[in-house]
Amino acid sequence: MLELHGVTKRFGETLAIDKISFGCARGELVGIIGRSGAGKSTLLRLINRLTDPSEGRITWDGVDVSQLKGKALRRWRRRCAMIFQQFNLCPRLDVITNVLVGVVAERPLVTSLIKFFPAEDRARAILELDALDMAGAALQRAGTLSGGQQQRVAIARAMLQEPDLVLADEPVASLDPVNAEVVMEALQTICRERNLPVIINLHSLDIARRYCTRVVAMAKGAIVFDGPPTELTPAVLERVYAGGRAARLAEPPIVRAA
Amino acid sequence: MRSPPVEPAARSVVADFERDRRLFLRRRRWETLVGTLIFSGLLLVSFQHSQFFSSDIGGDPLGRIADFLGRMSPRLSPAALFSDRATQGSLASWLYDLPLWLKLGWQTVEMAILGTVVGVIGGLAASFLCARNLMPIPAVRFVVRRGLEMIRTVPEIILALILVAAFGVGPLAGIIALAISTTGSLGKLFSEINEQVDPRQLEAMDASGAGLVGKIRYGVVPQVLPNYASYALIRLEGNLAGAAALGIVGAGGIGIELQRAISYTEFDTYLAILVLMVGLIFVIDIVSEAIRHRLMRLGAAR
């Protein structure tokens, strides 16, 4: 189980994350919603330790991971797989090699350098791709695939890491509705079948309502709502997106010169 | 070996992939094999013709290098280090013509800067004319590319010899020679940078109805300015060394003194001038690094 205890992150004067405490258990699919700049991406990056917290502790099954360094830090990153909005594949590498990047952290340096991966790794990679219906494209360059296909390759790469935890930062924001559904279903399946905690930043409330078992809403770096999607009432949303649409509607309309 | 229980369906997926992979690798292996054979053949022939391994050098080449280095080192004596020029073993007697060397050294720097600036302008113009994504007419690309190749084939020193004959002894011939050869190499490097720009930004420019010049100014240049700067600045360093050598054929700069030092077998003078040049290159490198970082960090690109 992942737990955050009073985690704070400052960038200079700016307070990006303000004393956040929350936990996420195995099998939970948590959607994080909030306006741009509310701190959603920073939160994921803190958990994966791509950035360091200014204050507070992050623990996994009671073990503090916020102070890890060097090898132990890289092992923690391997255990919490990250999925990005822009997929972050290497477009010039073929699909199977992109997926095998998921095991590089655990393999010796020399064999990685010459792009050698044991048959067992290759078999795991192709099975992960097959589970996402992407086995046929294994030898194609990743850059030639569509957005939805690339995101599925990125998920296969994440699964090859054998993660304890999956973090996804706006994974469907640049996908069409059909591909968005394919990707969300894939993440849901992973969450259920492998009993992993999955934390997803989302812009779409509709997707959050349909797939998440729990929704956490952030505003100005703090959690303003934490509960099942059914409790996302207009009053809650007003608090989350306050100053956004609500405020803009209150502004005087722009008068155009005729 | 530990293997997880695999379902028959999964086993066939893996088998299918492994078969495709073998085919793929086999096809690629042929290409690699042929390429390697041709390349190593060429290498072998070159080694053979240049007598790289087989030439009869005789004696002791390393010893002769050491001998030469020995002759280059100045005979300084600690006691007389700060005495005047007339005293044997003083710094002043080693660097006996320092003011002239500094003056010529500075002239060399000026030549390098002017040659590089003119060459960068020429290289930029050529690079837009031969970048595949910017110049739609293949004939223009072809002509410009071949022209640049012709320039690159002629060594700077030969260019300078011709230009000294045309413009007379002095830095002008050297500056023009440097500018031409800089155009030749930067034109190619810049055009390759231009071809690697993000096409999405150019597409947006196209969609807004911008013409070629607008696309270059607002779609290409802001993206690649730091890269241009890197190449231009490394070329500036090269041109400093180049300008020093051009003086040997009378094209201005410190080279004339290098030439004189060699012909009068003043090898210690030669070393002094070389040290001076290395110092100048250090200065240029430090300054150019600062410029490049400024270009990269500045909030809004130009």
Digitized pLDDT (tens) for each residue of chain B, 302 residues in all: 344 555 667 778 889 999 999 998 888 888 889 999 999 999 999 988 888 777 666 777 888 888 888 888 888 777 777 777 777 777 778 888 888 888 998 999 999 999 999 999 999 999 999 999 888 899 999 999 999 999 999 998 899 999 999 998 889 999 999 999 999 999 999 999 999 998 888 888 888 888 888 888 888 888 898 889 889 988 998 999 899 888 888 888 888 888 888 888 888 888 888 888 889 888 888 888 888 788 777 655 55
Q: Which of A233, A237, A187 lies closest to A212, judged by CA?
A: A187
Residues 6+ apart with CB under 8 A from A147: A87, A174, A175, A176, A179
**Domain residue limits, chain B:** 112-301
Question: What's the pLDDT band for A250 if we cut at 50, 70, 90?
Answer: very low
Q: Is A123 on the interface with B (CB under 8 A)?
A: yes
Which of residues A243 and B254 earns the better pLDDT score?
B254
Alpha carbon distance A225, A215 (integer Å): 8
Instruction: Please identify, in words, the CATH class of the domain defined by B112-301.
Output: mainly alpha
DSSP state of B87: S
Which of A114, A130, A140 should we substitute to test contact with B (largest number of B Cβ atoms within 10 Å)? A130
A-chain residues near B17 (CB < 8 A): 96, 122, 126, 135, 138
Q: Is A133 on the interface with B (CB under 8 A)?
A: no
Which of A126, A162, A194 should we substitute to test contact with B (largest number of B Cβ atoms within 10 Å)? A126
Alpha carbon distance A43, A65 (integer Å): 14
Model confidence at A239: pLDDT above 70: yes
Average pLDDT of the segment spanning A222-226: 92
Pairwise CB contact (< 8 Å): B18 & A120: no
Burial class (CB in 10 A: 0-12, 13-18, 19+), A146: exposed
Alpha carbon distance B135, B53 (integer Å): 47
Q: How far is CA B235 from the centre of its chain?
A: 5
Which of B2, B12, B17 should we substitute to test contact with A (largest number of A Cβ atoms within 10 Å)? B17
Give residue B161's identity as a one-letter amino acid code: L
Q: Is B55 on the interface with A (CB under 8 A)?
A: no
The whole-number pLDDT of residue B298 equals 61
Q: Is B22 on the interface with A (CB under 8 A)?
A: no
Phi/psi zone of residue A88: left (φ > 0), alpha (ψ -120 to 50 degrees), beta?
left
Pairwise CB contact (< 8 Å): B17 & A119: no
DSSP labels, B234-264 = HHHHHHHHHHHHHGGGTSSSTHHHHHHHHHT
A126 to chain B, closest Cα gap in Å: 6
Alpha carbon distance B230, B195 (integer Å): 17
A116 to chain B, closest Cα gap in Å: 13
Average pLDDT of the segment spanning A118-126: 92
Identity of the residue in A120, A126, A139 whose CB atom sits nearest the CB atom of B24 = A139
The whole-number pLDDT of residue A245 equals 56
Pairwise CB contact (< 8 Å): A126 & B20: no
Pairwise CB contact (< 8 Å): B20 & A139: yes
A131 to chain B, closest Cα gap in Å: 9
Model confidence at A221: pLDDT above 60: yes
**What are the pLDDT digits (tens) for A16-41?**
999 999 999 999 999 999 988 889 99
Q: Classify A11 as helix, strand or coil.
A: strand
Model confidence at A252: pLDDT above 80: no
0.90 surpassed by complex ipTM: no
- Domains, chain A, in order of start with CATH, read 2-250 (3.40.50.300)
A-chain residues near B1 (CB < 8 A): 120
**What are the pLDDT digits (tens) for A60-82?**
999 999 889 888 898 899 999 99
Q: Which of A115, A118, A106, A109 lies closest to A78, judged by CA?
A: A106
Pairwise CB contact (< 8 Å): B10 & A130: yes
Task: Tell which B residues from 111 to 170 touch A, by Cβ distance under 8 Å.
Answer: none
Q: Answer whether A2's CB lies under 8 Å from A165's CB.
A: yes
Question: What's the pLDDT band for A244 if we cut at 50, 70, 90?
Answer: low
The whole-number pLDDT of residue B267 equals 86
Alpha carbon distance A78, A31 (integer Å): 22
Task: Tell which A residues from 93 to 112 touch B, by Cβ distance under 8 Å.
Answer: 96
The whole-number pLDDT of residue B7 equals 65
Alpha carbon distance B51, B45 (integer Å): 10
The whole-number pLDDT of residue B128 equals 93
